[in-house]
Amino acid sequence: MRRFCPIGLACLVLVAAVTIGFAQTNPALFNVKKVYVEKMDNNLDQYITSEISKQFHGSLEVVLDRSKADGIIKGINVGAQNTTKATIQLVDPNGKVVLWSGTGGDREKVFLDLKHGGEQKVAAHLVKELKHAMQPK
């Protein structure tokens, strides 16, 4: 029977404790199964919610109760005056760690001005990026 070195065993326990603590306080992107979508300008939140349902087919659930979410999707620079650009972030439930961020608009010619119905295309692009980021590599 092999004996474990006390220092090696102590290091192993420390690494396990740190890993478990990190997983509980900072969930990895691929562990996010439920998201809360904050209200956004131009009703982009509604388009994001719809696209999540379409593209994730139930593997990512949108919840209406923020406290039940593994992650929060919030808009940054959504629908600012004279722009066709929207940036959203997926953050941890405490809002302290950005797990993912994506931008759609300006440079892509397929996007229409947000004031003229481009919200759906922007949302589709952003959710597609999020889905790609959440897939195991």
Read off the pLDDT band of 116 (50, 70, 90): low
Per-residue pLDDT at 29: 86
Question: What tens digit of pLDDT does each residue of 29-46 get?
Answer: 889 999 999 999 888 999
Domain 27-134: top CATH class: alpha beta
pTM assigned to the model = 0.71
- Identify the CA nearest to 128 among candidates 99, 107, 103, 98: 103
Checking if the pLDDT of 10 tops 70, the result is no
Domain range list for the chain: 27-134
Per-residue pLDDT at 39: 95
